[in-house]
Structure 1
């Protein structure tokens, strides 16, 4: 039987979160096998509010409103306008490919059959950065508001003072300063993802207004390195100070220390995999022992273990997400305590550490635990959440550079 993930009567934000989870599960290195995703997401949101692993390029923040606005201006019937907005998002795929874009085109491989449209993936960020007029507005609400904007009778000045709510509704779904829809859009997008200077400045200002004192604010004002693999190794971001720099240090320590738990977990999987005589993945035990040795040689490891202020860390995380479970916190705290008492160069052979990870998988995944489910073990592809956490950085970096490239353009 085909397995399905479905949601009923869910908010747009809930749906976005579910799509992000599905996206993470399609990337085997990003899976939340040990149940630390709540903390990872809280840190990500503190660093980069209004972002997602589903983002690809910055200009989608304009493409999506343009698709809705162009559809509403062409159709006075709400249902027909909604259908046309859907078609516009699908037509945009071909327009971007024809413009020569290869990286970041949502739906490039599947074309008009795309199920998850860009608006579904970006809507949460559009709310956070107030690209939509109201933080609670849905995509269905947006097309209604845009049709009203384009076709409803505008109240006269005397009427408007008594119809503030109606007047605001007729202003449309999107920020009043949204750049105008380009001619022939979305059938044509000759500039592709390249933003005009005015567009980049507009998007930067929206994002700056809703991310004060964050690392996102700093990165919007200071172009990051193009090739940095993690944000705490970026030479530009390393110059940041204040609370955002402290959050970055928390994120780095959490990533480094909890990566050891993921590596021990994968070592246990590798041993069970080889012990069951499965052989599709070559030499996984040797591979994970080598990775654990490399982890134990991390230059900052001693400082991260001895100097990390975890009480302040947890205060920040719980302020961002008060719903972090007690089990999650207990697991994280206990793992770091185990590291502090262990020989780090032999953590993969430490009995207490190994048994602790076994119990955590059973507690977190129950019947889906690979270590006790031979069918799932056989399906293992050699990596289950084994990479260090990078907090959306690979997805965010192209967005940031799109904005900075646009700001550097000479055109208005």
Structure 2
């Protein structure tokens, strides 16, 4: 992707880690590929690669016609038969840009496999483009059908709870640092919000 012109700010997994990357993008996206029916293979990423030899052997052992009837469409498939073919320069100049055919395939797969998901509503144009930082802040979110609105409410409450827990944890660390005599430069490095937290009274 670097050869294709993709830069560090475009979200490439493993850009910094390079050969030391522990979790490959194919593993990260494996679940989503199954959810949206891009992938038909039912097992894990590792199971898929281990099965390829036996999978392709099925085609060598399988007659392509039985009694004059083409049975190729009944052959097992690991991926959606509607998957667009890869570009000729896939391994030379790959970028995040997709063709119209690929975009339409994405749209159709998501609409068919997960018609009630928030992502599908975004892709299908049910929500106008907006710079909201969180999905529950989108001005049109209130018009989404149930259970999406309910799920967004729960997501917002969960986000607030987790954020509050992180703030509380850092506050406790800051107070502990102060009690241990962390002063001077180290204390200043805590930042104004943490220094203010150190000065607060006991938590209720």
TM category, shorter: 0.7 to 0.9
Unaligned runs of 5+ in 2: none
**1:2-151 correspondence runs (5 A):** 96-102=1-7, 103-136=10-43, 138-142=45-49, 144=52, 148=56
Secondary structure, counterpart of 1:98 in structure 2: coil
- Which range moves more in the overlay, 123-132 or 150-159? 150-159
How far apart, CA to CA, are the structure 1 residues paired with 2:58 and 2:11?
31
Q: CA deviation at 1:123?
A: 0.9
Q: Is 1:205 aligned to 2:108, yes or no?
A: yes
Q: Is 1:263 aligned to 2:167, yes or no?
A: yes
- Per-residue Cα deviation, 1:280-299 (whole angstroms, up to 9, x for no partner): 463648514868xxxxxxxx
How far apart, CA to CA, are the structure 2 residues paired with 1:224 and 1:281?
46
Q: TM-score, normalised by structure 2?
A: 0.75
Unaligned runs of 5+ in 1: 1-95, 292-345, 352-412
Residue 180 of structure 1 corresponds to 85
Q: Is 1:240 aligned to 2:148, yes or no?
A: no
- Per-residue Cα deviation, 1:293-333 (whole angstroms, up to 9, x for no partner): xxxxxxxxxxxxxxxxxxxxxxxxxxxxxxxxxxxxxxxxx
Residue 157 of structure 1 corresponds to 65
- Per-residue Cα deviation, 1:106-146 (whole angstroms, up to 9, x for no partner): 23234455443221221111122221113335444356179
How far apart, CA to CA, are the structure 2 residues paired with 1:224 and 1:268?
42
Q: Which structure's relative contact order is higher, taking Cα pairs within 8 Å and 6+ residues apart?
A: 1
How far apart, CA to CA, are the structure 1 residues paired with 2:85 and 2:53?
17
Secondary structure, counterpart of 1:131 in structure 2: coil
How far apart, CA to CA, are the structure 2 residues paired with 1:204 and 1:246?
24
The structure in which a higher percent of residues are helix is: 1
Change (3 A) 1:213 1:122: same
How far apart, CA to CA, are the structure 2 residues paired with 1:252 and 1:118?
28
**1:362-373 correspondence runs (5 A):** none
Secondary structure, counterpart of 2:15 in structure 1: coil
Structure whose alpha-carbon radius of gyration is higher: 2
Q: TM-score, normalised by structure 1?
A: 0.40
Change (3 A) 1:180 1:289: same
Q: How many residues align?
A: 195
- Per-residue Cα deviation, 1:34-77 (whole angstroms, up to 9, x for no partner): xxxxxxxxxxxxxxxxxxxxxxxxxxxxxxxxxxxxxxxxxxxx
